[in-house]
Amino acid sequence: MKFGVVTFPGSNCDQDIIDVLSRIMGQPVENLWHKNHELKGADMIILPGGFSYGDYLRSGAIARFSPVMQEVIQFAKKGGYVLGICNGFQILTEAGLVPGALLHNENRKFICRNIYLKPATTNSLLTAEINPNGALKIPIAHGEGNYFARPDVIKSIEDQDQVLFRYCDELGNVTPESNPNGSMHNIAGVCNAKRNVFGLMPHPERAADPILGNQDGVAIFESILKSVLA
């Protein structure tokens, strides 16, 4: 499976995801510069974490208009797989490719620490192969990760099983105390109605290398590969 990882001005997790996909998962990867219009035959596009354009206007708001995003949007509309992680999730919401928005964290502070999350559905590439009753320890690093949507949108994504992950405690209990940023319904990730575009706030690529002492993130990448290549 061939992946394309986009680099925007201010991306800082692009090389992390390239390293995990190529070295650990053994997949071909193309690094895509944001000004290019060519996706180079990728089967899945990754929008990585970071601070695209310094987030000067609003997280992801400027990157959404980068030339490569014209191609990513058309790719997604044709059913191509797209995953946005952290800042990439913010870009996807700004582009209208996934529902909702990412607001400032409830405590108005940047949060960088390990959290726990659990699948909210098994009906997605990211979660199909993951134990729905377990909890994954995955880092977060964001100032605007507070997932918000209008009540009617929340009802719709809940009814259509579009919530991918929820923040939980280490035992898998979804509680207010396990919610690190104030996200509605403890939502840590969502997909679109067609189930080919995915937004995820935690960083699985930061929990994939044995040298880091945590490989829980590998489960997400393995789920993608097994679901697509099955």
* DSSP character string of 89-140: HHHHHHTTSSSSEEEPPTTSS-EEEEEEEEES-SSSTTTTTS-TTS-EEEEE
Q: Which of 71, 94, 144, 205 is catalytic?
A: 205
Please state the pTM of the whole predicted model: 0.97
Written out in words, the top-level CATH class of the domain with range 3-229 is alpha beta
Phi and psi at 13, nearest 5°, equal: -120, 10
Q: Is 158 assigned a catalytic role? A: no
In this predicted structure, the answer to whether residue 230 has a pLDDT above a threshold of 80 is no
Selecting among 13, 142, 144, 203, the annotated active-site residue is: 203
The pLDDT of residue 104: 97
> What pLDDT shows up at residue 57?
84
| pLDDT tens-digit series, residues 120-150 | 999 999 999 999 999 999 999 999 999 999 9
Look up 30 and say whether it is catalytic: no
Q: What pLDDT does 45 receive?
A: 98
Choose the catalytic residue: 13, 86, 168, 191: 86
